[in-house]
Amino acid sequence: MHLQVPVPPVPLREPVRTAEIRCRRERASVLLNTVMTALLVLPQPIARLPTTLRSHHHRFAFLQRSYKLGSTSRVTAMSSSSDPSLETVAPRAAVTSERKLNPDLQEQVPKPYLARAMSAVDPSHPEGTRGRDTRGMSVLQQHVAFFDSNGDGIVYPWETFKGMRAIGLGFPTSLATAFFINLVMSYPTQPSWIPSPLLSIHIKNIHKAKHGSDSETYDTEGRFDPSKFDAIFSKFGRTHPNALTEDEINTMLKSNRNMYDFLGWGAAILEWKILYKVGKDKEGLLQRETVRGVFDGSLFERLQDSKKSS
């Protein structure tokens, strides 16, 4: 008869040791973050430190910010290269390489995929136009409200004409543009199915007059989409990253065309040609800030003030 003596299992020290090391690292990381936070949020005690220690503190804070930014950039780059679903260029679709997107936009604007109802935001204006009173209106409504000279919420052709003159357009151009805009946009914005003989545009319904073949910076409710606005320059700003030449505007207009959308083609051409005429700088460039200002209407106010002072 053979007796089998149970042999106690040999303890696996390696996993335990690895867990201990990981735990120590986590504790050290928490302690380091606590020290960094304490140093950065207590400016008064730091101000009383000797000059040498203060300089070390500022250097330490700079390194902390640099480490965070560097880590974020490395993670983003690693994610883009390792995850094919994050690629913005398809090798067999040459147009995706020609019209590039900004992969770092989320680090420049908080939640760039979230359309803003009342603010036209970009990396230089994360909260929209500083000091602007939105009056509770959407960005598209703010754009149109400039032409509502008496503030009654309705824009008539003569008000559109007056606004065009105020931003610097000549008499014939203003007359023709005012007639075309009110003719096209009047009926979709009416509160009933009865058309207006005066070609009035109701600002509260202006989202219904949004045309196709545009940059899609306005969504169908009149909000401002930061990612679509940024794509105007990442896709078509070949010469300057934050400006457009006249040729680049023409390329963009052709690229944005929807099939058989002849009305949208014409409306987009009219809008951008007028914007280029009144907004280009001395070098013939349409700057990013100028384009952003036209979306919320702040550009119109600056042009009007500039014309009055000249």
Write the pLDDT tens digit of every residue in 80-110.
557 889 999 999 999 999 999 999 999 999 9
Instruction: Please give the backbone phi and psi of residue 77, each rounded to the nearest 5 degrees, phi first.
Output: -65, -45
Give yes or no for a contact between 122 and 229, defined as CB atoms under 8 angstroms apart.
Answer: yes
* Three-state DSSP class for residue 244: strand
Q: What is the pLDDT of residue 22?
A: 63
Which own/partner pairs from 142-147 qualify as long-range (CB within 8 Å, at least 24 positions apart)? 142/118, 142/296, 142/297, 143/294, 143/295, 143/296, 143/297, 144/201, 144/203, 144/206, 144/297, 145/203, 145/297, 146/297, 146/300, 146/301
Which structure tokens are listed for 93? 């679709």
pLDDT more than 70, % of the chain: 74
Q: What is the pLDDT of residue 48?
A: 44
- 269: Cα separation from own chain's centroid: 22
Residue 1: CB atoms within 10 A of its CB come to: 2
State the burial class of residue 255 (Cβ atoms within 10 Å of its Cβ: 0-12, 13-18, 19+): middle
What is residue 202's DSSP assignment? Answer: E
Write the pLDDT tens digit of every residue in 229-286.
999 999 999 999 999 999 999 999 999 999 999 999 999 999 999 999 999 999 999 9
Helices (H), 206-310: 226-236, 246-255, 262-279, 288-296, 298-309
CA proximity to 279, closest of 265, 295, 266 = 295
Q: Which residues of 263-272 are buried (b: 16+ CB within 10 A; e: fewer)?
A: ebbebbbebb
**Average pLDDT per block of 10 residues along the chain, 310 residues long:** 51 52 63 55 44 42 41 45 86 96 95 98 96 97 98 98 97 97 98 97 98 98 98 97 98 98 97 97 98 98 91
Tell me the angle at which helices 262-279 and 288-296 cross, rounded to the nearest 10 degrees: 120
Assessment of whether the complete model's pTM goes beyond 0.85: no
Which structure tokens are listed for 159? 């008000």
Q: What is the pLDDT of residue 26?
A: 67
